[in-house]
Homo-oligomer: A and B are copies of this chain.
Amino acid sequence: MKILDCTLRDGGYYTNWDFSKELVNNYLKSFNDLPADYLEIGYRSNPMNEYLGEYFYCPVYLLEEIRSLSKKKLVIILNEKDVRPEHVSALLSPCIGLIDMVRIALDPQYLGRALKLAAEIKKLNFEVGFNIMYMSKWKNYGGFLDEIKYVDEVADYFYMVDSYGGVYPGDVIETIKMVKERTTCPIGFHGHNNMELGLINSLTAIEHGAEIIDVTITGMGRGAGNLKTELLLTALNAKEGLEVDFNTLSILVDSFEKLQKQYSWGSNLPYMVSGANSLPQKDVMEWVSRRFYSFNSIIRALQNQKKGIKDNEQLPLFEPSEKFTNAIVIGGGPNGVQHATGVLAYLEKNPDSCIIHASSKNASYYKSANVPQFFCLVGNEGHRLEKIFTDLGGFNGKCVLPPFPRKMGTYIPATIRDNTFELDAIDFTSKLADTHTALALKTSLQLNAKNIMIVGYDGYQDSSLSQQERSLSEENEYLFTAFQNHHPEIKIEAITPTNYKTLPVTSVYQYLV
């Protein structure tokens, strides 16, 4: 029985396939003393239309360096959907002598196409592995099941991939049986850990004849991540007497701790729900990494997906009769508190204004303002409003939601339902329509504001940027730019300190002199 560690390949979903040389060198050196047979380094790929890092393309100099440092068999993987037999020579000939196995990640319905790809790869004398996704749904693919018998000729491993992290040991046993009836190709198992079943599913697979298991250090990998290398090795050490150098293993695990703190992979309630119900994880991973979606909003969205509901309901369109010269857009940064007195003084002087709370976080500091107030309801903001306005007894603002249909659900407190509206299509961006900033800018447009004054959009210092903060920061920069390009007729400026580079900056106090 063999072990394949694919930390760099699968962990790349978090780092966009860039890793520091120090981390990788330590990884390779450590594995020289640990019982794994294969290390999967990354992808080889035709050019894609976005930034993807070094380990997504695995240039030859990188493979040479890794080959020189590692005593293990090395593996790269191809995405079947992006690679055709005619690409094989260009992508893989340079890897001869550096790489031992090429894996193919594929949707089961394209097994026929993948067989041709594998035949082409075999001509270059690589070992070939099929990593076949969506194992929990295989029994629904009749064509796929019929084609499994051809796998023997071209593949060295036939992997069952638990893409959703939702299969149980009983499913593993049943699927192995189904595969064994059709092929003698050695079986592999790649388990995700949404339900913390990675270990027991893998041990069950081994017990029922699987010959190779995928693992990653600390479980680093897409979404909730994988079976942890250290967990499988510890279990096999205690149960089967597998020799493990725990000093080396613990140094290796430690070296991923900093990245783990930065990206927070691992399971949590949203991943559990998506796993248990075989819902796609791509959305969940995006939502979890964006700081303004609480677990609560994500769960609501997943429940909607499970029920096949795009959103709970269509609301009346936001078609206000009022018009304002100035829209004060207030974000959730500390400067929204720090300069609240200044902003309130500005509103006293300029009553032809309104407040738009992009986030309600600072709303309590603006309760006394004598101008109409609008609240952008994204994700969990409804709960926040209930807290700030103590169950919304005296609340007289208006709330706006993203355009229908909404992917993410939104909590709307019952007491303010009559004052809640949804926005019409947003013209200045086709994506990010469900973000605080897009809503606030669209609301300003609907209110015919000539001037948009941004408050409490502090942004972040580069040095302290977490992945979530970077993502939020980039989204806001993008939206400010897109808005200015589409609406040059509107003046937009930050009037409190900001780290956003795409916003002109003035000062609230210059208007109070």
B195/A231 in contact, CB under 8 A: yes
The reply to whether A296 and B247 contact each other, CB–CB distance below 8 Å, is: yes
The answer to whether B253 and A269 have CB atoms under 8 Å apart is yes
Contact across chains for A303 and B246 when beta carbons are under 8 A apart = yes
For A239, the chain B residues whose CB sits under 8 A away are 276
Q: Are B246 and A273 in contact (CB under 8 A)?
A: yes
Complex interface: chain B residues within 8 A of A250 (CB):
269, 294-296, 298-299
For the complex formed, measure the closest distance between the CB of A379 and the CB atoms of chain B, giving whole angstroms: 11
Q: Which residues of B contact A465 (CB under 8 A)?
A: none
Complex interface: chain B residues within 8 A of A193 (CB): 196
Q: Determine whether the beta carbon of B195 is less than 8 Å from that of A299.
A: no
Flag whether A254 is at the interface (Cβ < 8 A).
Answer: yes
User: In the bound complex, how far is the Cα of B223 from the Cα of A329, in angstroms?
Assistant: 47
Out of B231, B277, B411, which one reaches A247, CB within 8 Å? B411
Interface size class on chain A is: 35 or more
Closest Cβ–Cβ distance, residue A234 to chain B (whole Å)? 4
Does A176 belong to the interface (CB within 8 Å)?
Answer: no
Cβ-neighbour of A196 out of B231, B249, B254 (below 8 A): B231
Q: Which residues of B contact A228 (CB under 8 A)?
A: 196
Residue in B230, B237, B254, B300 whose CB lies within 8 Å of A296: B254
Q: Which B residues are in CB contact (< 8 Å) with A295?
A: 250, 253-254
The residue in A166, A197, A299 that gathers the most chain B C-beta atoms within 10 A of its C-beta is A299
Bound complex: CA of A197 vs CA of B235, how far in Å? Answer: 11
Known: A195-B231, A237-B276, A276-B234. A299 touches B246 (CB 8 A): yes
Q: Of B230, B269, B294, B300, which one neighbours A234 at CB under 8 angstroms?
A: B269
Is B199 a contact partner of A199 (Cβ separation < 8 A)?
no
Rounded to whole angstroms, the CA-CA distance of A251 and B300 in the bound complex is 12
Q: Encode A302-344 as 1/0 by CB contact (under 8 A) with B.
A: 1100000000000000000000000000000000000000000
C-alpha gap A196/B239 in the complex (Å): 15
A337 and B267 CA atoms in complex are apart in Å by: 40
One complex includes copies of this chain to the number of 2
Shortest C-beta distance, A18 to chain B (Å), equals 24
Chain B minimum-CB-distance residue to A274: B234
Q: Which residues on B sit within 8 Å (CB–CB) of A196?
A: 193, 196-200, 228, 231
Q: Which residue of B lies closest to A230 (CB)?
A: B269
What mask results when residues 228 to 259 of chain A are scored 1 for a CB within 8 Å of chain B, else 0? 10110011011100000011011101100000
Q: Which residues of B contact A237 (CB under 8 A)?
A: 276
* 368-427 of chain A: CB within 8 A of chain B: 383, 411
A76 CB–B CB distance under 8 Å: no
* A280 neighbours in B (Cβ, 8 Å): none
Known A199-B197, A276-B234; judge A269-B249 contact (CB<8 A): yes
Is B300 a contact partner of A247 (Cβ separation < 8 A)? yes
CB nearest neighbor in B for A276: B238
Q: Which partner residue on chain B sits nearest A203 by CB separation?
A: B168
Between-chain CB contacts (< 8 Å), 30 pairs: A169-B200, A195-B199, A195-B231, A195-B235, A196-B197, A196-B200, A196-B228, A196-B231, A197-B199, A197-B200, A230-B269, A230-B272, A231-B272, A234-B272, A234-B273, A235-B272, A235-B276, A246-B269, A246-B299, A246-B300, A247-B300, A249-B269, A250-B295, A250-B299, A251-B383, A253-B268, A253-B269, A254-B294, A254-B295, A254-B296
Given contacts A196-B200, A230-B272, A250-B298, 10 further A-B pairs with CB under 8 A are A193-B196, A195-B231, A196-B196, A197-B199, A230-B269, A231-B272, A239-B276, A247-B299, A249-B299, A254-B296
